[in-house]
Amino acid sequence: MTAVPRPDSAIVLFGHGARDPEWAGPMRRIRDTLLARPEAPRVELAFLEFMSPTLPEAIAALAQAGVRKVAVVPVFLAQGGHLKRDLPVLLDEARAAHPGCEITLATAAGEAEPVVRAMADYAASCLG
């Protein structure tokens, strides 16, 4: 049986943001890779600063579109200050503004074991 994406679920790839729009290129590639899958979920990008949409804007748009489950995936290397201090506040505000929407938070992508292994493999390959 093939899984069918739930139209009421979405992934938000959350990044810091930068003044240079090219900075978001890897996040767009992650989104495009997810969307190329047969059971592709809805995937949106959101940023802490300098770029749009912000996380509150992205979640509000998803909630307005009928999404009821949002997985926020921080595309950060580690759980630094922004993820420890700023992100919890943003999530609390989003949960309060959209009580009918379940908003979950994943670990920073750079701390996930498969990502750590992939980065180690890449580093090892740099020797040639």
- Domain-located, residue 93: yes
What residue numbers bound the domain in which 111 lies?
9-125
pLDDT of the residue at 5: 57
pLDDT of the residue at 63: 97
Task: Please write the tens of the pLDDT for every residue from 1-49.
Answer: 444 556 789 999 999 999 999 999 999 999 999 999 988 889 999 999 9
CATH of the domain at 59: 3.40.50.1400
The residues assigned a catalytic role are 16
- Domain-located, residue 2: no
- Domain-located, residue 83: yes
* 24-40 b/e (C-beta count within 10 Å ≥ 16 → b): beebeebbeeeeeeeee
Task: Please write the tens of the pLDDT for every residue from 63-104.
Answer: 999 999 999 999 999 988 999 999 999 999 999 999 999 999
- Domain-located, residue 4: no
